[in-house]
Amino acid sequence: MLVSKRRSLRIAVVGALGTASLALAGTAMAATPATPAASPVAVVQKAPAAKAGITATPSVTSVRAWQLFRVTGKTTGIKAGTKVTLQQKQHGKWVSLPASTPVLRSGSYSLGVKLGLKGKNDLRIVSGNTASPVFNVTVR
């Protein structure tokens, strides 16, 4: 009986050690980072979105009241077909004028404009939250 008791005790100790080593190995495996070859993961990188921008150039810097002139420019980061609108600074606030045109596939636009407010006019082209630098046209 003593022999069988010792044998069962030895089997129990070996079994406990085996379980402990498996638990440690499992912990070590979890802490070890997987190699790229072991677990392939597809990484998709998006190209950074182009920052939206608008340029604006008037065809003239001085006109008579209600004389037609053009404002042309290019856009970046703005979809084709999106409208760009002319704004005029009036009493310290930007006011949208009834002059707008869609952006072409090339990103360019051309807008016919007539102004009646005499003096130096601060103007800009806007689309959403994007605005061109301010340009001036004097109406005489």
pLDDT for position 60: 97
Which residues are within 8 A (CB) of 45 and not within 5 positions of it... i.e. 6 or more apart? none
For the entire predicted model, the pTM comes to 0.65
Q: How far apart are the first and last CA of the chain?
A: 121
- Integer angstrom CA distances of residue 114 from 3, 10, 70, 99: 111, 101, 9, 9
pLDDT for position 51: 87
pLDDT for position 2: 53
pLDDT for position 15: 47
From first to last of the 140 residues of the chain, give the pLDDT tens digit: 555 555 554 554 444 445 444 444 454 444 445 555 555 666 666 656 668 999 999 999 999 999 999 999 999 999 999 999 999 999 999 999 999 999 999 999 999 999 999 999 999 999 999 999 999 999 99
Distance CA 77, CA 35 (A): 39
